[in-house]
Amino acid sequence: MRHLVEYLLSHCQAVMADHGGLLFTLFLGGLMGSATHCVGMCGPFVVAQTTSLQQTPSLLRRVRGLALMPYHLGRMTTYVMLGVLAASLSGMIFNVPLQRGIAIVLLTVAGFLFLASAVPGLKRLVGPRMFQGSVARFGAALGHVAKPFFTHPTPWHRYALGVTLGFLPCGLLAAALMAVAATAEPISAAFGMAAFCVGTMPALFLTGAGGRYALDRLPIRFSTLARGVMVFNSLSLFIIAGGMLLPAHH
């Protein structure tokens, strides 16, 4: 166990040194994006899991239940797996001379996806209508798979629910995956997607605690701030991509 912790810490330090800016951008993207986008998309699933906790007499059990950590760990598992897969494919498919160019393209696309989440008019350009039907059908299929996990709210069922719903099509998730794929480093991608998932947790916790009120009010309250941060995130990714255009100095 000690060796595992030391191994993770050493890699964490290396990732922070090489991709600290990207990890911070992904965390901010999850934090602000979840206050508007994720609350509307994933909030109902969170509220459905926490409704029964309102009658729980123990405050500690109520807070622990509202945190829904098994559910969030399930989402993180899926996000990390998708990020590792994206980075691995990026590193395997494109040889070294092409990797810099591909990374620039992926970071630029990720920047546009973050920007689209802040500017509603851009969503029509990023998400053509021809894909909307497929996305809706895939989401409905995931809902059908996830439905049995609501009937028995054990920690394992909530974890399985998080793993399943982690595959929900989402523009913010696509942006995060594009960004970590640009690293072509599976370990960096894993840390990046974990940072993104951690960023989404506070808003979903508030949604679980506030129920319908949070679903109705949270996106409105944080809309202006969230849009500003998402624009900042997109600019950060554009700057990182632009920096890669410059010749490396040894």
Residue 139 maps to a domain: yes
At residue 250, the pLDDT reads 42
- What is the reported pLDDT for 59? 45
Q: So what's the pLDDT on residue 124?
A: 61
CA–CA gap between residue 98 and residue 33 (Å, rounded): 31
In a domain, 218, yes or no: yes
In this prediction, residue 218 carries a pLDDT of 61
Question: 4 lies in a domain?
Answer: no
In a domain, 15, yes or no: no
Residue 110 near residue 178 (C-beta atoms within 8 A) = yes
Closest CA to 188 of 52, 86, 41: 86
Return the pLDDT at 138: 76
Radius of gyration of the chain (CA): 19
Does residue 6 form part of some domain?
no
pLDDT, residue 158, reads 87
Number of domains in the chain: 1
Taking 50 as the pLDDT cut, the residues of the chain under it are 57-60, 130, 249-250
Residue 8: per-residue pLDDT: 65
Would you say residue 7 lies in a domain? no
Model pLDDT, residue 194: 95
pLDDT at 52: 56
Q: Which residue, 160, 168, 177, is CA-closest to 113?
A: 177
Classify residue 12: in a domain, yes or no: no
CA angle (20 as vertex; 14, 180 as ends), nearest 5:
90
Q: Which amino acid is at 41?
A: M
Q: How far is CA 20 from the centre of its chain?
A: 17
Please state the φ and ψ torsions of residue 128, each to the nearest 5 degrees.
Answer: -55, 150
From the list 23, 70, 75, the residue with the least C-alpha distance to 50 is 70
Cβ contact 28:222 at 8 Å: no
- Tell me if 64 is assigned to some domain: yes
Angstrom distance (rounded) from CA 79 to CA 74: 9
Domain that holds residue 73: 22-51+59-244
Strands (E), 24-99: none
Phi-psi region of 211 (alpha: psi -120 to 50; beta: other; left: phi over 0): left
